[in-house]
Amino acid sequence: MIKALQLNKWANLGCFGHRLHNAIERSVQNASGPQGCAVSRATGVCKKVVSMFSYSWKKQKALMRAQNEQSLPLHKLITESPTRWGSRLQMMERVLEQEKAITQALAADKKTRHLVPTWQDIQVLESVTAALKPLQDFTDALSGEAYVSVSYLKPVIHLLNAEVLNPNEGDTELTQEIKVKVLD
């Protein structure tokens, strides 16, 4: 493909979906100061919690009991795939959805109490998901291999600048910072 572009002297447009993926990864990983540490910690807690429930059938049963008691949907936790930022977002959303059941299942055992997400972790997860949730549809739409998506670029970039990543009054400081870094 690169050789064909060179021979025909065509402009080389990188995959916008991939570029958006990289921008999102950098914005979350490079959050500044204590917020950056908080994002890393909250993400790490999510991964450990998901891992705990993935590898232990006893914990899975405890989670299902807690979900029933809390009247939560009987959803399994979602494991992150490092090459898909959207899977991290889905993991965070599911942990937030099942927070009460997770807390109940982990707090019942002395060996796993330390994995219970703190209120600070929950706030960070909520801020990150608030910033990134609107971008999930764009990544999926712009990563198509079976159709041409270059005509989407200009309207999508305008929409990202004007609405989706424009900081709002109700956004937390972390949500605003992530939005600005994705745009940069």
Are 108 and 62 within 8 A, CB to CB?
yes
pTM: 0.81
Tell me how many helices (H) and strands (E) the chain has: 10, 0
Compute how many other C-beta atoms are within 10 angstroms of the C-beta atom of residue 26.
13
**What pLDDT does residue 147 have?**
62
- CB-side exposure of 145: number of CA atoms within 13 Å? 1
* Confidence check: pLDDT of 149 > 70: no
**Interval 110-125: pLDDT, tens:** 999 999 999 999 999 9
Q: What percent of the chain has pLDDT over 70?
A: 88
| Confidence band of 64 (pLDDT split at 50, 70, 90) | very high
Q: For residue 146, what is the DSSP state?
A: S
Rounded to whole angstroms, the Cα distance separating 120 from 122 reads 5
Token pair recorded at residue 87: 């899977």
Could you report the per-residue pLDDT of 8-17, keeping only the tens digit for each?
A: 777 766 667 7
Q: Tokens standing for 48?
A: 């450990």
Rounded Cα gap, residues 158 and 161, in angstroms: 5
